């Protein structure tokens, strides 16, 4: 991908923002940036060393957590001298590591997947990530690492519906769920990247759409990885 920014954002959903605020802003000490309204969702943004942790508060109870998918967020920090694993109020695993630990200088997202070989092809050929080790990839400065999870299931894309372009919330309704749900990369041209992803065999999560009115995002689209995990691709002002 032709990245406009070399650091990925990370998004999660919760029904318990007060507790999550106390954990991420209080216990972890992440710097709060802003709150933005996206339809009925309030998105609370915290600094992840030049990118965002996006804590989305859902208006309705979230469904049960699915197996596989994004399982751990690793954050480098000067606050620790050895890895420290914590669990947030929703049960998400967060690990603090010293800056540079295991080559991490921004963040690392760890995923449980159904087929390591299929995911390796996806990361190298569809996302254009650089392979930096066994089941480990770098996209910009952010790292994604994979492990086999017998409970994870391959994604079967539904038939594409023709007709009027969907709005953002309708197109991404299935994105809403508990835990770490997606990561976001910023590119120079959404239309070009969307066409390239589909030509390379990637699954469309949504077509290219305008960003929420009044926000920094000009355009965006979503990808579904081979297990259906979500990846947001944005063009910002």
State pLDDT tens for residues 140-171. Answer: 999 999 999 999 999 998 877 666 566 677 77
- Give the Cα separation of 38 and 167 in Å (integer): 12
State pLDDT tens for residues 202-234. Answer: 999 999 999 887 788 899 999 999 999 999 999
> Does residue 203 sit in helix, strand or coil?
strand
HSE (CB half, 13 Å, CA atoms) of 92?
28
- Give the Cα separation of 172 and 187 in Å (integer): 20
Taking Cα atoms as reference points, which of 153, 180, 223 lies closest to residue 74?
A: 180
State pLDDT tens for residues 177-198. Answer: 999 999 999 999 999 999 999 9
pTM comes to 0.94
Q: Which residue has the tokens 């709150």?
A: 35
Reading the block at residue 75, the tokens are 């954050």
> Does residue 95 sit in helix, strand or coil?
strand
pLDDT attached to residue 205: 92
- Give the Cα separation of 17 and 194 in Å (integer): 33
State pLDDT tens for residues 33-91. Answer: 999 987 778 999 999 999 999 999 988 899 999 889 999 999 999 999 999 999 999 99
């Amino acid at each position: 991908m032709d990245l406009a920014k070399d650091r990925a954002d990370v998004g999660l959903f919760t029904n318990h923002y007060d507790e999550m605020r106390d954990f991420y802003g209080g216990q972890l000490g992440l710097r709060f940036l802003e709150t933005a309204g996206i339809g009925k969702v309030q998105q609370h943004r915290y600094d992840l060393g030049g990118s965002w942790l996006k804590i989305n508060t859902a208006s309705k109870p979230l469904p049960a957590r699915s197996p596989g998918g994004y399982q751990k967020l690793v954050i480098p920090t000067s606050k620790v001298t050895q890895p420290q694993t914590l669990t947030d109020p929703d049960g998400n695993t967060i690990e603090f590591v010293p800056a540079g630990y295991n080559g991490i200088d921004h963040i690392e997202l760890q995923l449980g997947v159904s087929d390591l070989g299929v995911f390796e092809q996806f990361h190298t050929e569809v996302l254009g990530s650089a392979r930096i080790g066994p089941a480990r990839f770098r996209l910009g400065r952010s790292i994604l690492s994979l492990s086999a999870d017998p409970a994870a299931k391959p994604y079967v894309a539904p038939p594409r519906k023709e007709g009027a372009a969907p709005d953002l919330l309708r197109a991404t309704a299935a994105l809403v769920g508990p835990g770490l749900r997606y990561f976001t990369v910023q590119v120079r041209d959404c239309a070009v990247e969307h066409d390239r992803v589909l030509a390379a065999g990637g699954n469309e999560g949504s077509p290219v759409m305008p960003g929420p009115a009044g926000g920094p995002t000009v355009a965006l689209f979503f990808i579904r990885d081979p297990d259906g995990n979500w990846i947001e691709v944005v063009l910002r002002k």
